[in-house]
Amino acid sequence: MAHDDLPTAVRYLIVGAGVHGLSTAWHLAQGLRARGEGGGEDVLVLDKTAVGAGASGIACGVVRNNYFQPAMRRLMAHSVSVWESDPAAFSYHPVGYLQAAPESMREGVVQIHAEQQEIGYPSRLVEGERDCRSYLQDLFGDWQAPGITNVLHERRGGYANNQASMRGLADKARAQGVSVRTGVRVTGLDLADGAVRAVMTDRGSVRCENLVVAVGPWVRDLWQMLELPATIDVRSPDGRLLSDVDMWTYLLLQEGTLGVDPGLFTDTSGGMPPVMHVDSDAPLLDEDGNLVTDSMWGIYYKPDFNFGGVQGGSMPLTVEKAAADVAVDPYGPASPEFVVSPEFARMWTAALAHCHARFQGTRHLYRDEASGGLGCFTPDSFPVFDTFRQNAYVIADSNHGYKMIGVGALVADELLGEPQDLLQPFRFGRYERGELHPTSSSPFPWS
């Protein structure tokens, strides 16, 4: 028997009250009602803590289309449309997104721009160091970073406030009749005849016809409960077979906030600037004139009144497998060792000052924020959306999650029997077939 405040059985059980779980629940309830097949009363969302308590609730909130991989670009164009469908409810700010990059990345950026035009996603490409400097100085009077030879300015996209957007999603799901139960920890799965028959929790067992796993960095734990392999064979596009590749790898996201008035970072017209992403191969010096790095580096940043400053991040750090194994709760107080590297503050503030004169001498204003955390990555660092054990749909976002608010709509359609072309390139079988996504020249693993 289930605990008296949980149903004994439900048609659709979703684990995880973050962006994917809530979006799936909302769209699934809408789809059921539109088909005359029920509604939100057939959908139950469980979360061990609270709405937005994990990765979605501490995400920096960037929403962009800027991907080298065509499949990711098409998927993100769909998700941006969902963000735009109700900016107020999602606390979404459509300020756009701008990438500035060096010559070594120009070919890839040009390709992204061309393919954005093919799918009707509005963006402007600027090429050549002189023209890029002029464009960026027109946008920011204090722009000073050398060596930028290509700029891609996306007119759509921007950022959203993490917790506010999750509350908005939860409200939409509940308005459709979905039950969202928090403080319920999944402890196991009842597998019978190759399918999931019930979900066991610390408050009882709930039978289900369909299970949706949408747990962000905790996907490894549910993967184990589904008795799926910890290592897999991966075939590269050139046919080489790599055996015993870890299915899951953890990286520590490096993000923080410069404690200045967000209004300090405006464009030359006094308006909110686009979310900025700068990649550079120029030597980076800190405010004392000491070398931070002479290797490729990259940062992203934006003024954010939700964080109370200029907020952003840089490349993640690899987490050793042994450390990840003990990270039972990567975002909770049980894992104090998973904090932003002290070196990050030095690097990120140096990079801000490298780009804008207004940030020179501000390293002392840096402060840690509840942002970043652990990201759980797949073998090729891109999502897996697929069905396992007959009736368990796994949403493994590989840390691309928050911006992809529209994945839930597509998953809901698939659960209702309508395969989605946008999700096809992200099936688990691509690893065996060698159908991996192309790799960009960006220093970020998710670009």
> Which run of H or E residues covers position 92?
strand 92-93
- Tell me the β-bridge partners of 198: 190, 207
Residue 239 belongs to a domain = yes
Residue 125 belongs to a domain = no
**What pLDDT is stored for residue 317 in this prediction?**
81
Can you list the alpha helix ranges (DSSP code H) found in 279-372? 321-326, 342-355
Q: Rounded to whole angstroms, how far apart are CA atoms 378 and 397?
A: 8
Residue 104 belongs to a domain = no
- The contacts of residue 312 (CB under 8 Å, 6+ apart) are 60, 255, 256, 276, 299, 300, 301, 302, 348
Residue 146 belongs to a domain = no
**What pLDDT is stored for residue 441 in this prediction?**
65
Kindly list the averaged pLDDT for each block of 10 residues, start to end, along the chain of length 447.
Answer: 75 98 98 96 97 91 93 96 98 98 95 95 98 98 97 97 96 98 97 96 97 96 97 92 94 90 94 97 96 95 92 84 46 45 90 98 85 84 97 95 95 98 98 86 65
**What pLDDT is stored for residue 2 in this prediction?**
45
Q: Rounded to whole angstroms, how far apart are CA atoms 434 and 146?
A: 39
**What pLDDT is stored for residue 446 in this prediction?**
62
Residue 374 belongs to a domain = no
Integer angstrom CA distances of residue 261 from 167, 257, 305: 26, 11, 8
Strands 241-246 and 231-235: antiparallel
Structure tokens at 106: 């120009």
Q: Rounded to whole angstroms, how far apart are CA atoms 407 and 412?
A: 8
Q: Rounded to whole angstroms, how far apart are CA atoms 112 and 403?
A: 18
CA count, 13 A, side-chain hemisphere, 328: 5
- The contacts of residue 108 (CB under 8 Å, 6+ apart) are 68, 440, 441, 442
Say how many domains are in the chain: 1
**What pLDDT is stored for residue 382 in this prediction?**
94
Residue 78 belongs to a domain = yes
Q: b/e map of 68-105 (b: 16 or more CB within 10 Å)?
A: bbbbbbbbbbbbbebbeeeeeebbbbbbbbbbbbbebb
Residue 18 belongs to a domain = yes
**What pLDDT is stored for residue 249 in this prediction?**
92
**What pLDDT is stored for residue 366 in this prediction?**
94
Which domain CATH number covers 167?
A: 3.50.50.60
* Predicted model pTM: 0.93
Residue 367 belongs to a domain = no
Contact 297, 170 (CB under 8 A): no
* Residue type for position 32: L
Domain range for 192:
1-94+157-245+380-447
